[in-house]
Structure 1
Amino acid sequence: MTRVLVVEDDPQLVRALVLNLQARQYRVDAAADGASGIRLAVARWPDVVVLDLGLPDMDGVEVIEALRGWTRVPILVLSARDASGEKVAALDAGADDYITKPFSMDELLARLRAAVRRKEAAPLASETAVVETDAFTVDLLAKKATRGGQDIRLTPTEWHLLEILVTNPGRLVTQKQLLHEVWGAYHGSRTNYLRVYMAQLRRKLEADPSRPRHLITEPGMGYRFEP
């Protein structure tokens, strides 16, 4: 049975989340502040964490950073903060998804199910490190991409971007993360680099580059690979 840790200081919202999750056969632990949430995560090893950013004792981003020091558990941020910068900060710290309050319970449950599916999916083994979509195939071992059975020539930079995205399926990878990984720490504001190279990747790989199905832009935030 999937275990969910809810870290939220609004008792009414906690009650609603617990009731809805338990009704769907999730085990639920709840903490009203960041320190308690971290302690529960260590003690209970949840499968998913649902985390508010506005906690009474510490900022939710600090909780994310503390958890990321030792676990890759999926973290779904649930927050009234809707500014793009707030979302990017949480995602850069290691959150997997961001849901803005007020929210639909159905949407939250759907995103939670998606996070559980991604966690339960077996990591790509070295002998099966092939990612397939209806438009193209990526062989991570051979470091090549094919489309319609034909090899696609990618530059080292294009390959690096593609590799990062396809090894994080369904997860939003922020602009800052991509720039840091591909171009280094001193290029964190060069978002034009990403626009150019992502456009090139789409032209080479997507069936309809103007309406991509797999290499998705999250405006102002980053990019997501959808298999």
Structure 2
Amino acid sequence: MIRILAVDDDLHMLNFVSAELRLSGYEVIEAESGEQALGCLDSRNVDLAIVDVMMPGMDGFELTKILRKDYNLPVILLTARHHIEDKERGFLAGSDDYLVKPFESKELLYRVKAILRRYDQPADDTLAIGTLTIDFKSYEVQSDQGILIIPLKEFELLTLLASKPRQVLSRDLIIERIWGIDFQGDEQTVNVHIKRLRRRLESFAPDVQIVTVRGVGYKLEVNA
């Protein structure tokens, strides 16, 4: 299930956005501040963030910069102001879209679907993380050690983890994304593939590590 992080210190707006998203089949994590939002990401994977601009403490612009830089999350910013300077500042911070309050639920849901479709396909032919470069066309993985060709499921698993760095992906989510919702196997399949992938990365790209979060799942981290 697609999981969306909704961040707003206005509880009325937060409840409205969350309710509309849930009615459309999305799972929603709610946060009333930027600091709380970042805390939510410590143990849960998120596919998209909807962030209010005007919040006390960490505002939406600063939170967006962190979400884009550290978590590679798409972001929709919400604001009550029509100023073009705010829109410019939002896009410079890395937001993908911008909604001015008040807005209709249909407009919000349309923009959410459009961004999720955009991020479902890689924008480029390659994805770089640490010393690794993943080539989507050739299905090759490159590092300072050369070129590595790995089995398709391992390639897809590595791509999924690398597309959401530092985010914890549950075993159920990994199974759904890599093997499909009709998969008849169990979590051991994920564990075996993770083990094989770890073994390959140890010497090929030692700065890139797959970390186990006990009882939850896995995340990809880069050691400086």
Give the TM interval when normalised to the shorter protein.
0.5 to 0.7
Write the distance in 2 (CA, Å) between the matches of 1:43 and 1:82: 35
C-alpha displacement at 1:124, in angstroms? 4.0
Match status 1:26 vs 2:64: no
Alpha-carbon displacement from aligned partner over 1:91-139 (angstroms, at most 9, x marks no partner)? 101111001111111001000001111111145435759xxxxxxxxxx
User: 5+ residue gaps in structure 1?
Assistant: 130-227
Write the distance in 2 (CA, Å) between the matches of 1:101 and 1:22: 20
1:16 aligns to what? 16
1:110 aligns to what? 110
1:145 aligns to what? none
Write the distance in 1 (CA, Å) between the matches of 2:123 and 2:71: 15
Write the distance in 2 (CA, Å) between the matches of 1:40 and 1:127: 31
- Would you say the 8 A contact 2:68–2:74 is kept in 1? no
Match status 1:58 vs 2:58: yes
Write the distance in 2 (CA, Å) between the matches of 1:24 and 1:90: 26
Q: CA RMSD in A?
A: 1.8
| Superposition TM-score, scaled by structure 1 size | 0.53
1:93 aligns to what? 93
Alpha-carbon displacement from aligned partner over 1:160-196 (angstroms, at most 9, x marks no partner)? xxxxxxxxxxxxxxxxxxxxxxxxxxxxxxxxxxxxx
Structure 1 pair 91/128, CA: closer, same or farther in 2 (3 Å)? Answer: same
Task: Spell out structure 1 runs of 4+ moving beyond 2 A.
Answer: 122-129
Write the distance in 1 (CA, Å) between the matches of 2:82 and 2:64: 18
| Superposition TM-score, scaled by structure 2 size | 0.54
Percent pairwise identity? 32
Number of matched residues? 129
Structure 1 pair 59/124, CA: closer, same or farther in 2 (3 Å)? Answer: closer
Write the distance in 2 (CA, Å) between the matches of 1:84 and 1:128: 39
Write the distance in 2 (CA, Å) between the matches of 1:105 and 1:52: 16
